[in-house]
Each structure stands twice: as structure tokens, then as C-alpha cells.
Amino acid sequence: MAIQVVCAGCNARFSVSDQFAGRSGPCPKCKKPITIPAAPVKSVTIHEPEAPVTKSSGSGRAPTAPIASTEKPLSRLKVAGVAAGAVVAMLAALLARLAWGPGLAPVWLQALAAAGLALPCVLVGYGIARERDLEPYRDRSLLLRSLICATVYALLWGVRGFLPAEMITEMWQWLYIAPLFFGAGALAALATLDLEWAAAVAHYSLYVIFTALVRWLAGFPPI
């Protein structure tokens, strides 16, 4: 940075490097001694950072603040509705056992129960097992995805009904068959509800456990 110097004797103006600031020397023209002034201090203004914004403005700027995600806990009404639905399903299984006998309920009723229980289990399971770091599905999107997942769950129970009895009589046989069902169910939850793999397996397990309980109350083998 150059320093502007004016000689007091001859009024000559010239520039010198700031490395000579504060030194004395003869004027190049009149040879009178002059003192080089100190280099001017350049002021630096530090501005306060702009406040982060959470919404896009008309200028096209993207939000600079993280979007707050609020968790909405299940209301007491919803919890009570889920509990009441579970109790009604179990009472219906007991009534079917009394009406037709243990394990003698018609196939159409079994299919209706498998399909009717699927959607509530999928919705409840999603509220429990969903990824908390992701924005949850809601309203129409959640209903559509849940219907697809519930349809797959119910169809898997239908596939189980076509298995030969000799393949599922012994409990040890399910060690080879169950992974196929749980794998297919977990894939359905993974694809429709964006669950992690372990959460998807747990999600399908909720449906299996509850339907197995209802089957047992109706007098059928649980699996």
C-alpha cells in the first residue's frame, strides 16, 4: 500500500511504500528532510449475520434455518379407539368360536378378518415404528400407502391358507417358511412406508401377532 507524501519545502508530491512509514529522509527534489507519515489504518466494519429464515421469499433464496419438526402425540381418543377396536376383534373371534365351534369358522369369515385387521395394524404400526427423522406421511398419502401395505399383509395370510397341512403341522417347519413371509411383509412396509429394515420387520410382526391371537381365540392354530 503506497503512502502519499507532500514535501513542506517544495510542495512536491510523491508516493512511497508503506514499509518506509515513520522514517525520515531527504526530499528527492529539494533535499530537505521530510518524515514519512504512518500508513493510514483502514477501518473494517463487521456486520451482524442475517437472521436465519424458515420460509422461501420472493427473491428465490432458500431457507437458511432448519425446519422445525413437531411431534404430535396420539390423542387419548385415538388410543381409546385403537384399544376398543382390538377388544371388539377379540370378542368377535370368541363369538365365532361359540357360533361355529373351535376352528370351524367359514373361510370367508377368516378372509374378512385378515383383511379387516390389516389396515388398523398398519396404521398403528406406522405410528410406532416410523423413522422419526423423516417427515411423516399424512392424510391421503398415508391412507393410500397403508392400504397397499395392508393388502400385501392380508394376501400373505391368504397364501398361508393354501400351504399343505403337512408343511406347517410341526413348529420346526416354520423355521424355514416364516422367513419368506416376514421378508415379503417387511419389503411391503419398506416400499410403502419408508421404514428401516428392522422397523419394517417389527411392523409386519405386529400384524402377525395380533392376527395369531385372534385365530387362537377363534379356536384355530395361531399360525
What pLDDT, in 10s, does the model give residues 74-125? 567 777 888 888 889 899 999 999 999 898 889 888 889 888 999 999 999 9
Answer yes or no: are the C-beta atoms of 39 and 18 closer than 8 Å. yes
- First and final C-alpha spacing in the chain: 87
- Distance, CA of 136 to CA of 186 (rounded, Å): 18
Following CA atoms 196, 197, 199, 203 in sequence, which dihedral angle do they give, to the nearest 10 degrees? 120
Per-residue confidence (pLDDT) for residue 2, from 0 to 100: 74
- Confidence class of residue 150 from pLDDT cuts 50, 70 and 90? very high
Q: What's the pTM?
A: 0.64
Beta strands in the chain (DSSP E): 2-6, 13-17, 24-26, 33-35
User: Domain boundaries in the chain?
Assistant: 2-35, 76-217
Ramachandran angles phi, psi of 5, nearest 5°: -125, 135
Q: Dmax of the chain from CA atoms?
A: 127
- Distance, CA of 201 to CA of 187 (rounded, Å): 8
- Distance, CA of 77 to CA of 97 (rounded, Å): 30
- Distance, CA of 38 to CA of 5 (rounded, Å): 10
- Confidence class of residue 57 from pLDDT cuts 50, 70 and 90? very low
Q: Report pLDDT digits (tens) over 192-213.
A: 998 899 999 999 999 999 998 9
- Distance, CA of 171 to CA of 182 (rounded, Å): 16
- Distance, CA of 180 to CA of 163 (rounded, Å): 13
Answer yes or no: are the C-beta atoms of 148 and 180 closer than 8 Å. no
Average pLDDT, the chain: 80
